[in-house]
Structure 1
Amino acid sequence: MPQNTAVGTGARIGAYRRLCRLTQSQLANKANISYSLLVKVEQGRRPASASLTAAVARALGVPITTFTGQPYIIDHAHDRLDGPLADLRASLENWDLVLDEVPVRGAAETGADVRLLLDARRASNYAKITTMAPPLIDELVQISQTATGHAEEQAHRMLAHVYRSAYDVAYNLGLSDLVALLLSRMDYSVSRGNDPYLMALHHYMRAYATFTTGRLEVGQAIISRALDIVETGVRAEEVPALCSAGNLRLRAAMLACRLGDEDTARGELAEARRLGDLLGREVTGGRDYGPHIQSFGATNVAIHASAVEMELGNHSRALQLAKEVRPPADYFPDRLGHFWIDTARAQLSTGKTDAALSSLLKARSVAPQQAKYHPSVRETVRDLVHAARRTPDTLIGYASWCGAAL
């Protein structure tokens, strides 16, 4: 059912709290958050941080999207994502059957399309991903069920990357049922792809999904299992293992932040930094070692260092660290977009409203569809409008573009 996008996160929290017949004090105790902060968030006087929203969702036993307002169904239709998303759902109905009507191309052509899809994922181009993924899934399923040996494994590996790319779209659009389905399909192919790093990647994504459900302790257990998978390679200082473990440690740091475990968050971040130092350079995934290698390096660690401080409520420190982020000229749009979105949140929290709008404009420039659909963008824009004595035309235009309720 579509969510009401005419109100902000704080108002949704208040409405659901009343539906559950809880007082603000009772919910604050249940979620282990500040009572005064909850009051301000419900009244719209303070932005609802990701950590607070996650804590409330966990306490009330509902998905985070209950409060973010996702999915934004009307915008899906406006941007013509609804049709391709329906096609994607339909393509996921088959993962293990041979169908006579499905044509199959040569490995070189199929592989080239998978690489284009991976580029679209890094650019957060949701429209391109949802358009390309369904026919690729049909074709690769056909290959995986008719080939043998290396060709069969290769088809499953490519399928895993297609599922992963579609997962990013589903997760960022708040389509939790589609996230679960894609994880299931990816699990099937990963188990047949004979690649431990793809298995670790699946665990990484599965742990990411717990941010939405609030089962963060499950996410931590998943990360621990994934680290065991790559531990031998880490000890040997193999590049794929260092990259995989580095990303897992960064994910673990963010999980710990959402759980309010500052010591663990900082410890995981420090371990990720150590792995980045061992690596000694920026590894850009498929550009260097093939699509099964995750990208990792000092830039990713620096971005997460700022994000950890922001999640812990240390917004001034987060902004100091954000100034130290020096991404390469060709750094990934999806990570840069997320970085600027997070930076805007920290700037808003410290009263730097002009800088926050500037950061949002940078996010829109590098990854427009990510900037449009990320729930914290709408929340930040809404709070910027309320904080402004005179709302600049640029902010009004941004609010209209991203669909923020004012």
Structure 2
Amino acid sequence: MLFSAIIFATAVALVLANNAPTYPSYISSTTDNSYGSYRPFNAAAPVPQNRKPSNASFADDGCGDSSVRFKGDGYCYPLLKKGPCYSVLLWITVDPYTYEGICTPRLCGREKVFVGRDGLCHDILDTKECRGGRRLYYSAYGDPICDCPIGQYPFPSEEDDCVPLFTQGPCPTNQVVSVSSSGKLECAPNTCQLVDRYQDFLLQLVPVKQSIISNHKYGNGNGQKLCHALGSCGPCSPSELFGYNVFRPLGECVYMNDPRTPYFSSPEENAILDEVFGRAANEPNNRFYRAQRLSRKRRQGPNTIGIFQQPSRIPTSLLNPCQPGGRNGNNFKCANPLVPSRPVRDVSQPVSPAFGCRPNDFLQATGQCGSNRGPASCGPSFQFIPATNQCRPIRF
């Protein structure tokens, strides 16, 4: 089994070397000083939290929040998907130099993120890699990062723990964390009151007047304001879920079978991915272990304020969620609208990626190999600075 995996990894490397599209060398000796307020991170440290510069500006490419215009043909394709790339071992990311879409190596399978510190593919829900309730994602550039679960944000500061939108969090009584019209997180009056004391206090209830659903009367006939839970069917059709657009900011229905959404998951492509990446996962000692369930059981209260049961399995996004505010840095392309989910599954242990390097070399998030472990923790939009042992943004 090990021998066949080595042959497989070698064949993949040869294919990539001979046939892969050309893209910039992300580990460059040229230092770019236009880092703005984006702080460097220590290459020996755990996966960095998502940070974005405040002084960068990005032109709209007309492809939406989670798709990018591909450098090869000029069409829009969803990020972190195979798209027009010739192999399932490649996917679309953003070129940090031109901000166009390019094909880059996909190192890990579904719901797993490559961590350069140990060179393994970690479950996105691996709590050992991220702090403050955060989980693993990729940025649009292919950088492994820690960010809050979909529909949650660190509040009141960027260093605080994640708090679900439209819940009380650290706000005073009868107030919830909300997004202001200017795109800032704030405490605002809670206009959605739970009518059943057994209902989940973490339900993210959005007042209908804050949504773009126009065919529902404001109220339920009993003087209560109609509200809908994020991630539920809410007022949407059976093939849609109720989400929240952080740039508008408004609630809206999201068609989950639309390949352009960051939540779409193709059964055909999934089968190929599982077969390819399963070879590494099935190596000796790579057995899945059981962990604490990630969401508690909850009782769904009466449907009196527009709440509907959430589907049991919502595909989760590998692309980091959009943050309120300007479309800068890792907020240039991101997952939006927000469709929260509470995964109920066991966390899997780290497994080997589908790509390998020669002995004593280290695999990097770019898919390249190097003799220094330091650059292995730098994402594709970063460069390694040997003098400081830090990763610095290449351009933005």
TM > 0.5: no
Q: Of the two structures, which has the highest relative contact order with CA contacts closer than 8 Å and spacing of 6 or more?
A: 2
Give the number of the structure whose residues are more often helix, by fraction: 1
The interval holding the TM-score normalised by the smaller chain is under 0.3
| Structure with greater strand percent | 2
